[in-house]
Amino acid sequence: MLATRGNLASSANQGATDPPSIDTVAQSLAGFEAGEAQAPEPVSNQVNWQDLVDRIHKGEESGMEELYRLFGRGIRYYLCRQLGHQELDDKVHDTFVIVVQAIRRGELREPDRLMGFVRTVVRRQVAAYIDDAVHSRRDELNLDVGVRVADRRNNPEQTAVFRQKVELMLEVLRSLSARDREILTRFYLDEESQESICQEMGLSETQFRLLKSRAKARFGEIGKRKLQQKPLISVSLRTSSGSGH
Amino acid sequence: MSTCIVLHFPDDVLEKYAMGSLSNLDCGPLEEHLPLCEDCRTRLMKVEEYILVVRAALTELEIHSNARIGAQSVFAL
């Protein structure tokens, strides 16, 4: 999420050490529980790529609008993931322009491969931005004044939410056996492959998957339980303060 | 009408992608799918966040257990 003046102000008022609201943690915990909701059908199943590419090729505005609507948010997400929030709109726009120009020049011969083409363009863009950043950093190495550094840290509320989740996960991990914790450590922290962990620790693929999914489900359950307890505390506090009058 | 039939990607594939262990060959279909699929993007974000949380918690546990082992060995001296 991009930091706006409004939410920065509210974060500042709230203070860096204040706990986040229950709703905020609840929203961010949703989806960690076992079992997934029925996912909607992906957009790619509903698109007539040939017709879309034809319309863009002819310069029809409706084609370009549809293309932007189709991948605008996804490209934004990918670019943001790779390069951060800085000048994101410009980067999305540049990518869009390159794709449209290539289609108009007739460079896309297989319309069904449009998303593959878009992926290639985006990857080239990311590589070019990183290359630029490396060069400009090298050029500006000796300049102390006027160098803009993007702040990619989370705001205080996000940091507090993250900290709460880590506490929940610590609870989950402490409830596991030392052997199960070792398996998770080797996978998530040491980045050992599933195959080598299974082989060395005498596990089947199913056992390995089960351990991971149980830890994840337990994380969701504990989070949910804690959230259900919190409103009760606030109600009892309100009741006890009210009884004093 | 030409359509591209793509199913949603399972969480273990998204997890491999997030951890950078998905092969280049398998990255292609996923990266072509992600811009068009809000559901998979949302799940990928959750998977990424979960990995960060697990890593932070495991690191903390490791630091504490190392400190405990260190303290025990000092007292043993």
Q: What is the ipTM of this complex?
A: 0.80
Q: Do domains A42-138 and A156-243 have the same CATH topology?
A: no
Which range is most confident: A27-31, A132-136, A193-197? A193-197
Distance of residue A87 Cα from the nearest chain B Cα, in angstroms: 19
Q: Assess B67–A contact: CB distance below 8 Å, yes or no.
A: no
Q: B33, A115: Cβ pair inside 8 Å?
A: yes
Going by CATH, does the domain composed of A42-138 fall within 1.10.1740.10?
A: yes
Q: How far apart are alpha carbons B40 and A232 in whole angstroms?
A: 35
- Selecting from A44, A75, A174 the residue whose C-beta is nearest the C-beta of B33 gives A44
- Selecting from A36, A43, A188 the residue whose C-beta is nearest the C-beta of B51 gives A188
Q: A42, B19: Cβ pair inside 8 Å?
A: no
What pLDDT, in 10s, does the model give residues A36-46?
A: 445 555 555 67
What pLDDT, in 10s, does the model give residues A224-239?
A: 887 777 654 444 444 4
Q: Which amino acid is at A44?
A: S
* CATH no. of A156-243: 1.10.10.10
* C-beta atoms surrounding A94 within 10 Å: 16
CA-based nearest residue to B5, from A112, A50, A43, A45: A45
Q: Assess A119–B contact: CB distance below 8 Å, yes or no.
A: yes
Domain boundaries, chain B: 11-76
Residue B74 banded pLDDT, cuts 50, 70, 90 = low
Q: B4, A115: Cβ pair inside 8 Å?
A: yes
CB pairs A-B closer than 8 Å = 124
- Selecting from A112, A169, A181 the residue whose C-beta is nearest the C-beta of B53 gives A169
Q: Assess A35–B contact: CB distance below 8 Å, yes or no.
A: no
Alpha-carbon distance values, A81 to A5, A152, A172, B34, B73 (Å): 22, 11, 28, 12, 44
Give the pair of three-digit tokens for residue A208.
């390995």
CA-based nearest residue to A17, from A211, A119, A161: A161
For residue A90, give every residue at least 6 positions away whose Cβ sits within 8 Å of its Cβ, in sequence order, or none: none
Say which residue, A134 or A39, is predicted with more confidence: A134
Given a cut of 70, is residue B29 above it in pLDDT? yes
Helices (H) and strands (E) in chain A, counts: 10, 0
Domain boundaries, chain A: 42-138, 156-243
Q: B40, A42: Cβ pair inside 8 Å?
A: yes
